[in-house]
């Protein structure tokens, strides 16, 4: 299971999904990439059927919002959508595509 | 701070206007507003123009200066403001502040957008400029997608169903039939809506507002300078910022920018949701009206769609929402929308609206931009209210 790359503030330790230039908590510039476990809870998703021009080849695809156990909320995509998937489902990061976390239901 | 009033209003129709370039739309609405105000253009002390994507879609910027020049305004500040779909509401607030703080006695507000000449992928790409492209953009999120995600949460938490949300669509489309400026009024059935194409589950085609051309304008003046029986006063104008990315929202089916703007607007005016006679709110999607009505305190949390289904938000109901047809039926020329809402509200308060709310004395407008990153809430009232 690939980790998800987030930002960690070297000064105050706050985590953020990023990208960001300053820590929104303490305004420090010292943000570094941190790897967190890709396990979390699915909050919601939708299937994008009419994609922006540069994403057209990928459509239809599912964009989702996940609360990672590490305490960061991230936007990503779902590997597959099936009827069993519900908000609140346990998901894990199955792949990374261009820096975007691709989630699938936890077995 | 001085009291500010609406002295004049003007608007083009909203819709497909192939023979009207962007500056012609803006000048037409503004000239009508000046005529309605019976004011000479040389008395205008500032112009604020709300526009979102004239650059990418028409290749034309410095619109505020171009419009000021065409109107023959004196050498006064002409400023374009941008806050995605909330650009018009922001322009209005800046004009109110210019008069309230004594910078000038009269100001012109214009909102304008030109969209229907562009292809759908070009419009989608331009609208996506309203996203934090470093964050949400890379995931492939679109604005209908944002509201599809919100709808799913609303359904899971409150049990909101297709039929209830369709009540919002049917109401606004029906209201649009009565508004001569509206792009897409219609008598729709729940079956037609449920059979329309899926856009971003559960969002379907009829849940989405169209792309539009259009412009609206208001002439604002210091209240003590205006001798007009049907004077409409600004009781509150508030602008807020919310999360610039979807993952930044603590709640995926509420916009903090709206909640805060409404709270401050009620505080500023000394009014409460119960005092409001009608609302023009930002129904870019059907589910947006549901969420907005709850965020504004008009419907109880979770009940926005139920309120529409029970007819409470229809004209003649206890709190009419979007008697103009809203964005769903009147159309959404993005930068013009916020000013268009204030145009509609002023007509209601003058008692001259084609879909009149009987006895309307106090109206609220709500304009939301981007992922909820910019919001304005305004309250207008009849001067005798």
Domain CATH for A22: 2.40.50.840
CA distances to A48, A50, A57, B99, B197 from B203, rounded to whole Å, are 10, 12, 21, 42, 9
User: Is residue B77 one of the residues assigned to a domain?
Assistant: yes
B262 pLDDT more than 80: yes
Burial of B245 per CB tally in 10 Å (0-12, 13-18, 19+): buried
Percent of chain B with pLDDT over 70: 100
Q: Do B152 and A74 make contact, defined as CB atoms within 8 angstroms?
A: no
Interface probe with A: pick from B141, B157, B205, most Cβ of A within 10 Å:
B141
CA distance B164 to B202: 13
Order across the sheet with A31-36: list the strands.
Answer: A15-16, A4-9, A31-36
What is the three-class DSSP state of B93? helix
CATH number, domain containing residue B72: 3.40.47.10
Contact A48 B149 (CB under 8 A): no
Q: Which of B245-254, B312-321, B332-341 has the lowest mean pLDDT?
A: B245-254
B203 contacts in chain A (CB < 8 Å): 46
Whether B365 is in a domain gets the answer no
Sequence-distant (6+) residues with CB within 8 A of B267 are none
Average pLDDT over residues B203-215: 98
What's the domain range around A23?
A: 4-105
| Residue A84 confidence class, pLDDT cut points 50, 70, 90 | confident
Instruction: Find out whether B314 and B171 touch, Cβ atoms under 8 Å.
Output: yes
Select from A24, A45, A50 the residue whose CB has the most chain B CBs within 10 Å, as the one to mutate to test that interface.
Answer: A50
Domains of chain B: total: 1
Candidates B247, B252, B254, B285: best to mutate against A (most CBs of A within 10 A) is: B247
ipTM value: 0.95
Percentage of chain A beyond pLDDT 70 is 100
Residues 6+ apart with CB under 8 A from B2: B99, B100, B101, B102, B222, B223, B224
pLDDT the model gives residue A82: 79
pLDDT of res. B229: 83
* Average pLDDT, integer, range A62-83: 94
Q: Which of A46, A87, A100 sits opposite B148 (nearest CB)?
A: A46
Q: What is the 3-state secondary structure (H, E, C) of A40-95?
A: EEEEEEEEECCCCHHHHHHCCEEEEEEEECCCCEEEEEECCCCCCCCCCCEEEEEE
3-state class of B171 per DSSP? helix
- Residue B365: predicted pLDDT: 99
Span B163-178, pLDDT tens digits: 999 999 999 999 999 9
Residues in chain A within 8 Å Cβ distance of B142:
48, 50-52
Of A44, A55, A99, the CB nearest to B252: A44
> Does B52 reside within a domain?
yes
B382 found inside a domain = no
What count of residues does chain A have? 107
- Whether the pLDDT of residue A52 is over 90: the answer is no
CB B231 within 8 A of CB B219: no
User: Residue B381 pLDDT more than 80?
Assistant: yes
The predicted model scores a pTM of 0.97
The per-residue pLDDT for range A11-36, each reduced to its tens digit, is 999 999 989 999 999 999 999 999 99
CB proximity A73 to B under 8 Å = yes
A95: pLDDT strictly greater than 80: yes
Give mean pLDDT, residues B151-162: 97
Higher pLDDT, B324 or A107: B324
Phi-psi region of A98 (alpha: psi -120 to 50; beta: other; left: phi over 0): left
Residue B135 has a pLDDT of: 83
For residue range B322-359, what is the model confidence (pLDDT) as tens digits? 999 999 999 999 999 999 999 999 999 999 999 999 99
Domain span at residue B84 reads 4-119+211-225
Structurally, how many domains does chain A consist of? 1
Question: Once rounded to an integer, what is the mean pLDDT over residues B268-282?
Answer: 98
Check residue A73 and give its pLDDT: 96
Of B121, B153, B245, nearest to A44 by CB-CB distance is B153
DSSP code of residue B262: H
Flag whether pLDDT at A83 surpasses 80: no
Question: Between A17, A52, A73, which is nearest B125 by CB?
Answer: A52
Note the pLDDT of residue B121.
Answer: 82
Q: Which residues of B are catalytic?
A: 85, 332
Residues in B closer than 8 angstroms to A43, CB to CB, are 153, 252
Contact B156 A86 (CB under 8 A): yes
């Amino acid at each position: 299971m690939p980790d998800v790359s987030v930002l960690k503030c070297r000064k105050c330790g706050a985590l953020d999904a990023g990208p960001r230039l300053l820590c929104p908590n303490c305004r420090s510039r010292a943000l570094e990439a941190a790897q967190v476990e890709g396990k979390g809870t699915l909050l919601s998703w939708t299937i994008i059927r009419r994609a922006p021009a540069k994403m057209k080849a990928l459509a239809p695809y599912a964009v989702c919002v996940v609360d990672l156990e590490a305490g960061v909320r991230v936007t990503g995509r779902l590997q597959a959508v099936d009827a069993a998937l519900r908000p609140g489902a346990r998901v894990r990061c199955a792949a990374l595509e261009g820096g975007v976390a691709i989630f699938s239901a936890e077995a | 701070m001085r009291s500010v009033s609406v002295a004049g209003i003007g608007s083009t129709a909203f819709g497909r206007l192939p023979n009207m370039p962007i500056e012609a739309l803006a000048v037409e609405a503004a000239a009508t507003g000046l005529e309605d105000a019976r004011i000479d253009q040389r008395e205008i002390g500032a112009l604020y123009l709300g526009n979102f994507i004239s650059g990418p879609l028409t290749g034309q910027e410095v619109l505020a200066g171009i419009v000021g020049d065409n109107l023959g305004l004196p050498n006064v500040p002409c400023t374009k403001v941008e806050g995605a779909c909330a650009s018009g509401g922001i322009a209005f607030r800046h004009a109110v502040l210019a008069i309230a703080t004594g910078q000038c006695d009269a100001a012109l507000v214009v909102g304008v957008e030109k969209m229907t000449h562009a292809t759908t992928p070009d419009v989608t790409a331009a609208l996506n400029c309203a996203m934090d492209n470093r964050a949400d953009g890379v995931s492939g999120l679109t604005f209908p997608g944002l509201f599809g995600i919100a709808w799913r949460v609303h359904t899971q938490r409150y049990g909101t169903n297709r039929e209830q949300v369709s009540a919002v669509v049917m109401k606004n489309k029906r209201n649009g039939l009565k508004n001569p400026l509206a792009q897409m009024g219609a008598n729709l059935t729940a079956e037609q809506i449920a059979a329309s194409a899926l856009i971003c589950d559960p969002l379907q085609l009829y849940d989405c507002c169209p792309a539009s051309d259009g412009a609206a304008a208001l002439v604002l003046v210091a209240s003590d300078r205006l001798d007009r029986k049907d004077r409409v006063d600004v009781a509150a104008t508030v602008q807020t910022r919310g999360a610039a990315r979807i993952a930044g929202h603590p709640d995926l089916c509420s916009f903090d920018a709206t909640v805060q703007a409404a709270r401050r607007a009620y505080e500023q005016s000394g009014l409460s949701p119960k005092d409001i006679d009608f609302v023009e709110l930002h129904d870019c999607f059907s589910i947006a009206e549901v969420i907005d009505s709850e965020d504004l305190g008009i419907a109880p949390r979770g009940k926005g769609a139920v309120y529409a289904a029970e007819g409470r938000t229809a004209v003649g109901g206890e709190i009419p929402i979007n008697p103009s047809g809203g964005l769903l039926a009147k159309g959404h020329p993005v930068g013009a929308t916020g000013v268009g809402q204030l145009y509609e509200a002023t007509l209601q308060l003058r008692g001259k609206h084609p879909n009149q709310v009987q006895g309307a004395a106090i109206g609220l407008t709500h304009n939301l931009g981007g992922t909820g990153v910019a919001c304005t809430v305004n309250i207008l009232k009849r001067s005798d209210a």
